[in-house]
Structures are given as C-alpha cells and as structure tokens.
Amino acid sequence: MANRSAASGVAKAEEIRSRAPRAKIPTFLVETADDDEYDEQADPDFEQDDSEIQSADESDLELVSASSISDDEELGKSSSYSRLSVLVSSPFNRSTADLLLGAHKRFGKFVHKHEVPRKVFHVSIGFITLYLYTQGIQIQRLVVPLFAGFFGVSALDLIRFRSKRFNDLYCAAVGFLMREKEVNSYNGVIWYLLGLALVFVSQKKDVAVMSVLLLSWSDTAASTFGRAFGHLTPKVVGNKSLAGSTAAAITGVLASYLFYGYFIPHYPQVNVNVDLGYVPAKNLLNIHVFSLLAGLIAAVSESIDLFGWDDNFTIPVLSGGFFWVVLKLTGA
C-alpha cells in the first residue's frame, strides 16, 4: 500500500511538471544570471497577473496533496520525500524565496523586476558619501564602521541560515531590498561593505570617493539601462550589453566632472593636509581626459566578472585599482 501510494505521488509530480509549460510565468519572476539583462520585449507574458501564477502553484500542490500525501501516517518518510521533491523540482517552486519575499509578490514589477527600492538605496550611498565629504569626514574614520557593518551583517546571515523563523522575520523586514538568491545565500550588502572598506584602506581619499560613486551610480545606471534596452544592443562581455556598459561609462564621466569639477574646488577646507590622488596641476591629464578615463574605468569594472564574485565587491576594488594605475602612469 505504501509503495503504491508513493508511486502515485511521484506520478502526480511528474504529471504536474509535464503540464508546467502551459502555465505562463513572466520572465521577471525568474532570477537571471545577469541583472543587467531583462528583456521585456522578448517576454510577451510579463503582464500576466501574479494571482494567476499563485493560483496555478497552489492548485498543483493541492493535487499532489490529495492523492499522494493523504496516507501520511502510513507512508511516513516516503510521503515527506514526495512532498519535498515536488516543492523543490516543480518549476513553480524554484526556491523558498517565493514563500519568504512577500514584498516581491505584493508589489510585482516595482520591487521584483525594476528593483526600485534596491536601486534607490544603491544610489543614495553615493549622495551620502558626498555629504560626508562636505562635512570633512576623512575616510580613515569610516574604515572601522564599514568593517563593523561587514561583520555584523555577516553574523546576521549566519544566524538566519540556521534559523528558519529568524530568516522569515529578516526577509519580511528587508525583503523589498533583497533578491531571491539572497534568501538562502549571503546578502549583497556584505560585499558592498567589504569592497568599500578595502578601498578606503588602500586608496587615497579622492580615489576612494570616486570608487564609491562608480559603484553607487554607474552600476545602477548599467543595470537600469541594460534591462530596458539591452535587447536592442549587442553583448559586450558575457551577458553585459552595450546599452548597460554605455550607461555606466556616461555616468562615470559625469560623476568625475561633478566630484573633481565641483566638490573638490568648492570645499578646499576639507582637504587641508590631505594627499589627493588626482590634482590637475600635478597630472599630465586635464579634467576632461581624466573624466573620460573615469567613464572607461566605470564600464570596464562593471563588465568584468571576476571569479563569479559579487559586483558590489569587485566594482569598487577594480575601480580603485584602475585609478591607481592611471595616476601612477600620469602623475607629474
């Protein structure tokens, strides 16, 4: 009896999986390898109501429950295995993120596809950095808080990986800033903090600030324009589109003009006795050429996939390294 019921459960699971393609799932509900490459035009079903997907999901699970999980007491582990197999293998249940990230379901494209809250937070770091710059806060004072944040968020991740209840509460609180892959893996904020901390330790003040701006603004521009227009342009490296890389480069140029053309000359008091990396009077490059190079650095740093590491870590570190090379080669 147990074997027949278990076999029936497996058969139902296979039946659900074979019928799955009939249920149209918007591309924006599927985690892609590259967040720059959402192709709306290639996804004719992206307007489908989320409720249809949820109802299809629930009806399929109920079908399995009614047939193969009714004899729980008799099947024991076999029944549990059948339920787990369906939950893991069904195309409707790619990860526990579907259950935990309620904000993604409630706000649909605003949070999940366009990632508006996440991008606003990302961009705000650049403005906060410039504000701290105008207040005379030196980068050395930020190293300890950055490392403290890194270890603190890492500790929270280790706790939530071991406590489903804590993970549920954590995702409910900040799920609107997370991606599904971060539900059961390390938070991108960890790599953000670590990347900035290393740049602040190893680079001069202006290079450190520029690295933050490229991470905060150029990376966001690449993601936004890559998702919107990436399908219209060729790929540059891997899944990176020309549209995204161009947006990163233009944003990097503008960030350089803003920082070196406005903030540094208008706030000279914050750089007294501070050794800056780029000083036009002491460098072979004028601000126009240097800003163009800053745009190139932004595009290249954003495009490089370094061992699959999180770009929140690689972009500031690579940007700082490239700026260091440029300044070494062009310094008077």
Cβ-based neighbours of 36, under 8 Å, separated by 6 or more: 222, 223, 226, 227, 230, 239, 240, 241, 244
Q: Are 261 and 287 in contact (CB under 8 A)?
A: yes
Q: Are 126 and 256 in contact (CB under 8 A)?
A: no
pTM over 0.85: no
Q: Distance of alpha carbon 258 from its chain centroid, rounded?
A: 26
Query: Where do the structural domains in the chain lie, given as residue ranges?
Result: 2-94, 116-330
Q: pLDDT tens per residue, the chain (332 residues)?
A: 545 555 555 555 555 555 544 434 333 333 333 455 444 433 333 333 444 434 444 444 343 334 333 333 333 444 433 333 333 333 333 444 444 455 455 555 655 555 677 788 889 999 999 999 999 999 889 999 999 999 998 998 899 888 888 877 877 777 666 667 677 778 888 899 999 999 999 999 999 999 999 999 999 999 889 888 888 998 888 788 999 999 999 999 999 999 999 999 999 999 887 889 999 888 999 999 999 999 999 999 999 988 888 888 999 999 999 999 999 999 75
Cβ-based neighbours of 196, under 8 Å, separated by 6 or more: 142, 146, 211, 212, 215, 316
Helix 205-213 vs helix 116-134: crossing angle, to nearest 10? 160
